[in-house]
Structure 1
Amino acid sequence: MRIVGLHHAQITIPRGAEEQAREFYCGVLGLTEIEKPASLRARGGFWLQVGDREVHVGTEDGVDRRKTKAHLAYQVTDLAGWRKKLAEHGISVLESIPIPGYDRFEFRDPFGNRVEMIEQKD
């Protein structure tokens, strides 16, 4: 018996904010929405494909997402390009504490979720 991998991670957005979230996650970040099972659609939210993993965007009210350090870290190429693209969309980038072998930064999505962009150094 063992854990063999990570299937998906979930973030939350306020109820009814799906279209704004799609604009950000699919439009700005360029992630692909995948079909959510019919049995779960009534709950709101949507699912995204990120490489060989999934990010589930659920809906939840009454949560101050800006108060948590919980986050997703997207492994990227061209970190400088991402920094520029986010700035063009009014997203403030925060510098992260350096870690060996990587360049990275973080930001908050339009709903307050903490997001990290990380690129492995050559």
Structure 2
Amino acid sequence: MTITGVHHAQITIPVGTEEQARHYYCHLLGLPEVEKPDSLKGRGGFWLQVGDRQVHVGVEDGFERTSTKAHLAYQVTDLSSWKQKLEAHNFSILDGIPIPGYDRFETRDPFGNRLEFIQPLT
């Protein structure tokens, strides 16, 4: 009996903001949307493909996203270009605490979810 990996992670957005979230995640970040199974379509939200994993964007009201340290970390290439792109779209960039072997920064999506962008040092 072994855990063999992480299948997906989920973040939440406020009810009724799916189109704004699609604009951010699919258009600005360039993540492809994956069709949800018919049995789950009525629950709102949508799914994204991120490399060989998925991020499920669910809907949930009554939760203050800006008060949590919970986050997803996207491993990227060309970290400085990601920083410039997000700044050009008026997203604040926060420096993360350094960790050995990586360069990184943090930001918040339009709903307050904490995101980390991380790149291995060469």
Normalised to the residue count of structure 1, the TM-score between the two structures is 0.99
Aligned residue pair count: 122
* CA distance in structure 1 between the partners assigned to 2:63 and 2:24 by the alignment: 19
* CA distance in structure 1 between the partners assigned to 2:59 and 2:38 by the alignment: 16
Quote the offset at 1:76 in angstroms: 0.2
Give the unaligned 5+ runs of structure 1.
Answer: none
* CA distance in structure 2 between the partners assigned to 1:98 and 1:72 by the alignment: 17
Give the corresponding residue for 1:96. 96
> Cα RMSD (Å) of the superposition?
0.3
CA deviation digits over 1:60-85, x for unaligned, max 9? Answer: 00000000000000000000000000
Give the corresponding residue for 2:105. 105
- Secondary structure (helix, strand or coil) at the match of 2:91 reads coil
* CA distance in structure 1 between the partners assigned to 2:15 and 2:37 by the alignment: 19
Give the corresponding residue for 2:25. 25
* CA distance in structure 1 between the partners assigned to 2:27 and 2:111 by the alignment: 15
CA deviation digits over 1:36-90, x for unaligned, max 9? Answer: 0010010000000000000000000000000000000000000000000001111
Normalised to the residue count of structure 2, the TM-score between the two structures is 0.99
Give the unaligned 5+ runs of structure 2.
Answer: none
Give the corresponding residue for 1:119. 119
Identity of aligned residues (%): 69
2:6 aligned with 1:6: yes
